[in-house]
Structure 1
């Protein structure tokens, strides 16, 4: 019996999965907070307790994410892009382009049939291309992020807002609100703006079918719809898209235990 864990420590949330042999057994997520290492420790122990195990039962732990190196009990860590590639290719073997949009950054990854990273590009200069921007705009519209996603699909006209800077973008949204612009149209403009930013980095690496979207924004139907229209291609959204990084880390852990040498970085 082999038990491995994958931990994705993001800027906003921690995602953890535990696998027994090749089967996903348990998963958990929670806010990263200011004390990232403590948040991971707490969630990891909670997850193991749910499964009826202790840390000694786990053969290998691999981390990924922006704060992956802060997890002292992990055996190794891998880059975000590798974790995404591993997680996606396990679920969707035909995937060749991975789009990951989370709270703090968006990335486009070109992968091989074996799940190797061939190229990638990251949008990390401004929050205007991330989930954090959507949350800020939802607050301005006085709706939840889920509500914003749904009403964006009800829009009847196309508007443009500045997607180069989150501050300017928010200013434009506030101006549209004062002009009594319908909320669905503003919501669609926000989704289109983010989709435009992500489309730009996707074209850098080249879009090749199948295109798979992961990360928290993959659960935002309004954004997915805008992105699909931008690239004029169908986009596959995985089950539990926000757990893909953790799943990829768990795959790397399993390969390490099985002696497949995934070149994890300690």
Structure 2
């Protein structure tokens, strides 16, 4: 069985079923960390906060897909401005003193960062400021859902230990991170495909 997920799921005609990445991240996270209560996902295009039920299903969710300022895309913009590879941004942010980024829009924030850089603000402080800004946006998103049980953090941003620390501090709770956080949704899709196959096989045996 093949289950497709993500924004490109409709482009896979060979898939037996398509499932939203929200459902797949929920299933993958609950399988990796049984008893999880919430999944936070920050990818390149959007951010999501997903509340889970006792079976690892989706109880509720909210997402930010209107602005790049709360996503990994914002870090790509910052990396371009600072001329720094993405993996070095985390190291710099961990050593910097966060500079407040007041703009709530990615375009205006980019202009603000360029201005701060021109004023001599250290790149590490700007990196730390952006990390804190994204973490606070995620905290605001998470507060809009039922937040109980352990928290699992997935997506590309979860691959940055420095950002995980910033997020944990903003949430004031520890966050659990899979070994391969970017594959959590794919794992969930595979688990759903396996479940479908099991049901099909049971039907055949009857």
Alignment TM class, shorter chain as reference:
over 0.9
**Residue aligned with 1:201, SS:** helix
Q: What is the RMSD computed on CA atoms of the aligned residues? A: 1.4
What are the residue-to-residue correspondences of 1:191-206 with 2, within 5 Å?
Answer: 191-206=131-146
Query: 2:103–2:112: 8 Å Cα contact kept in structure 1?
Result: no
Alignment correspondent of 1:208: 148
Number of equivalent positions: 201
Work out the CA distance in 1 between the residues paired with 2:165 and 2:112.
22
Alignment correspondent of 2:46: 105
Alignment correspondent of 2:75: 134
Deviation at 1:163, TM superposition (A): 5.1
Q: What do the CA deviations read for 1:21-67 (whole angstroms, capped 9, x no partner)?
A: xxxxxxxxxxxxxxxxxxxxxxxxxxxxxxxxxxxxxxx10011112
Work out the CA distance in 1 between the residues paired with 2:60 and 2:172.
21
**Is 2:129 aligned against 1:173?**
no
Query: 2:98–2:127: 8 Å Cα contact kept in structure 1?
Result: no
Work out the CA distance in 2 between the residues paired with 1:229 and 1:174.
27
Deviation at 1:183, TM superposition (A): 1.3
Alignment correspondent of 1:70: 11
Alignment correspondent of 2:180: 240
**Residue aligned with 1:204, SS:** coil
Work out the CA distance in 1 between the residues paired with 2:103 and 2:22.
24
Deviation at 1:141, TM superposition (A): 0.8
Equivalent of 2:192 in 252, 255, 259: 252
**Is 2:70 aligned against 1:143?**
no
TM-score by length of 1: 0.73
Q: Where is the strand percentage greater, Structure 1 or Structure 2?
A: 1
Work out the CA distance in 2 between the residues paired with 1:84 and 1:251.
11
Which stretch shifts more, 219-228 or 136-145? 219-228
Deviation at 1:74, TM superposition (A): 0.4
Equivalent of 2:167 in 212, 227, 250: 227
Alignment correspondent of 2:36: 95
In structure 2, list runs of 5 or more residues that go unmatched: 201-206
Alignment correspondent of 1:18: none
Tell which has more relative contact order, 1 or 2 (C-alpha 8 A, sep 6+).
2
**Residue aligned with 1:248, SS:** helix
